[in-house]
Amino acid sequence: MPVITLPDGSQKEFPEAVTGLAIAESIGPSLAKAAIAITVNGNQKDLSDPISEDSKVSIITIDSDEGLEIMRHTLTAQVLASAVKNLYPDTKLAIGPTIDDGFYYDFEFQKPISSDELEPIEKEMKKIVSTGSSITKTLNSKSKAIEVFKVADEPYKESIINDADQEDDFQLYHQDDSEFVDLCRGPHLPSLKHIGPFKLTKIAGAYWKGDSKNKMLTRIYGTAWKDGKDLKLYLQRLEEAEQRDHRRLGQQMDLFHLQDEAVGAVFWHPRGWALYQTLIDYMRTKQELAGYEEVNTPELMDRRLWEASGHWETFGENMFTSRTEDERIWAIKPMNCPGHVQIFKKGLRSYRELPLRIAEFGKVHRYEPSGALHGLMRVRAFTQDDAHIFCTQDQITAETGAVCSLLLSIYRDMGFENIIIKFADRPERRVGTDDVWDQAEDALKQAMNSLGLDYSYNPGEGAFYGPKIEFVLRDAIGRDWQCGTLQVDLNLPGRLGATYVGEDGNRHTPVLLHRAIFGSLERFIGILLEHFTGNLPFWLAPTQVVVATITSDANEYAYEVVEQLKNSGLRTEIDLRNEKINYKVREHSLLKTPVLIALGKREIEDRTVSIRRLGKKGQEIVLLTDAISILAKQSQTHS
């Protein structure tokens, strides 16, 4: 006699075990029609699964995120997979999960296919969907499930079952009128009638089980929505994201370029470099206030230093080196930490000097794999706002807290509200003993917990010398990039021989905190550009003000206005070209200059300026003296 409690608190009692479908029917026929699955005590189940115990049940329809995901899941596992099998019968099936906004399926094709083949596959999928077949499932023992896929010659499915912990209840889903069978965790739609509009989007390679030692499979991506309106909105969103691409904006705004002779290294144009320097100036001020001292260390150092640190062993293949006539091998620094440790080691350090915070805008080079390169986000030469804090065990919590609050205040100034924080613990390849790792991870975890910040775990993704916190920001099309980082390192100071004299008169090894806030200036600028679609806040804009003349009679006055703006510290350009004001407005708008000052006869006579702000219609006429003070003040405001 199961008693079913619905989300509104109402209860229904059934004489015997009952299915989700029957519950939906008991509520109403339209719900029964719309129902695609149920949640039983928090777990998603098929509509056909019987419930015999008292349970909390909610009906899932496609209008919820859960429902949408189930639809996408059914679409990939039942429709995409069987369409591909129909067209390419000797293809092997791997896995087909859902992702944000869609789904993918990994296949092993006997012959590689190209993106031209997405269209016929999509057509075949539509044919399958149009049958409206109902979907049923069977529960199977491990041996039975293995048998099914042995017969079907699906080695990947077989291996998934073999690797599974369970012995029973392997769910196999079938469609009416089709021989297609797939192994799936479910739940699935009760029938293909619930499939919404979809589109296959791209094709790519992907390693089996995400391991580059394994075979590369072919992954087909798609998107699906509950109705045509949502699909259209999604495609629109993609198009808009294209406009926000920092590579496109970099070109349009004349900030930087990349070229073949310097793969992965940026040619910064004057406007881009102005932004770069503005960020550095800002960070320098912030760090100074937070008790950091700025240093500079060599870009080339003997390889023995990198051998000692462990970098040579772990990342040697990704380091640029240079050999000189005297047969010495130098590494172009991929990190600043060994250099900072040298500064710490120079002279005898006392515990009284701790925490010692050393910062550097250090340009590093890393030979990143060619396939990883991506605009400004992933480059081979970049500058870090790097700092190393030498401290005692007791100081870890306070220093970690100080780093986090500094970072958060800076991200807030930059306009970022949604920051993803991840805790990455010991990787497989690492230096140091497990004892030391336990200590470092505990210390970092405790410090984070005491701050009350929400974070998720990123297991095995720490640095080779210590666990790390990743501060992740998202780009225009939803890709995540690590920007800030904080790492607790109990290994490198010892390996590089750093010590200080403690209160007890003995030598101790300091704790080393590595931290970066922007991370890479290059990447951070890429993220900033995408975040603001190039419309940077006034204080960051490469050119803050353009003074444009309407007729050449205003040239003299324009020079005067520009001089005053520049004297107030505003990045200002002058545009005296013999062009119409419309033309100038358009051009400077495309360059995303926040303020355009137009000068004509009226302004000369009244000693005023006409201020036009980017994205605003119309203009304000203000006295020159007022304009200067308004803009200068605005430039000091970080928001």
Partner RNA sequence: GCCGGUGUAGCUCAGUCGGUAGAGCAACGCAUUCGUAAUGCGUGGGUCGGCGGUUCGAUUCCGUCCACCGGCACCA
Site for RNA, residues 64 to 123, rule: CB under 7 A: 112, 114-115
Separation CA 443–CA 480 (nearest Å): 26
Q: Is 414 in the site for RNA (CB under 7 A)?
A: no
- Residue 198 or residue 464: which is nearer to RNA going by CB? 464
Q: Identify residues 508-567 at the interface with RNA (CB under 7 A).
A: 514, 550-553
Residue among 477, 507, 567, 629 that touches RNA (CB under 7 A): 477
468 is catalytic: yes
Residue among 418, 506, 582, 636 that touches RNA (CB under 7 A): 582
- Residue 139 or residue 621: which is nearer to RNA going by CB? 621
384 is catalytic: yes
* In the complex, minimum distance from the CB of residue 319 to RNA, in angstroms, rounded to a whole number: 5
Q: Is 199 in the site for RNA (CB under 7 A)?
A: no
Residue linked to tokens 């080393």? 512
* In the complex, minimum distance from the CB of residue 590 to RNA, in angstroms, rounded to a whole number: 5
Separation CA 396–CA 393 (nearest Å): 6
Residue among 127, 232, 602, 633 that touches RNA (CB under 7 A): 602
Q: Is 418 in the site for RNA (CB under 7 A)?
A: no
* In the complex, minimum distance from the CB of residue 392 to RNA, in angstroms, rounded to a whole number: 22
How do strand 135-140 and strand 170-175 relate by DSSP bridges? antiparallel
Q: Is 431 in the site for RNA (CB under 7 A)?
A: no
Q: Identify residues 232-251 at the interface with RNA (CB under 7 A).
A: 245, 247, 251
Q: Is 623 in the site for RNA (CB under 7 A)?
A: no
- C-beta of residue 78 within 8 angstroms of C-beta of residue 96: no
Among the candidate windows 23-31, 154-162, 257-265, 355-363, which touches RNA by CB under 7 A?
A: 257-265
Counting beta carbons within 10 angstroms of the beta carbon of residue 567, is it exposed (0 to 12), middle (13 to 18) or buried (19 or more)?
Answer: exposed
366 is catalytic: yes
| DSSP per-residue letters across 320-378 | -EEE-TTS-EEEE-S-SHHHHHHHHHSS--BGGG-SEEEEEEEEEE----GGG-BTTTB
- C-beta of residue 37 within 8 angstroms of C-beta of residue 70: yes
Counting beta carbons within 10 angstroms of the beta carbon of residue 367, is it exposed (0 to 12), middle (13 to 18) or buried (19 or more)?
Answer: middle
The mark string for 371-400 relative to RNA (x by CB under 7 A, - otherwise) is xxxxx--x----------------------
Among the candidate windows 134-142, 391-399, 409-417, 457-465, which touches RNA by CB under 7 A?
A: 457-465
* In the complex, minimum distance from the CB of residue 327 to RNA, in angstroms, rounded to a whole number: 23
- Residue 132 or residue 460: which is nearer to RNA going by CB? 460
Ordered strands of the 321-323 beta sheet: 300-302, 329-332, 321-323
| DSSP per-residue letters across 416-474 | ----EEEEE---SS--S-HHHHHHHHHHHHHHHHHHT---EEETT-SBTTB-EEEEEEE
Which residue in 92, 194, 468, 612 is the catalytic one? 468
Taking the CA atoms of 338, 339, 344 and 345 in sequence, report the sign of the dihedral they define: positive
Task: Give the residue from 324, 328, 326 showing the smallest Cα distance to 302.
Answer: 328
Q: Is 165 in the site for RNA (CB under 7 A)?
A: no
Which residues carry out catalysis?
A: 337, 366, 384, 386, 388, 468, 514
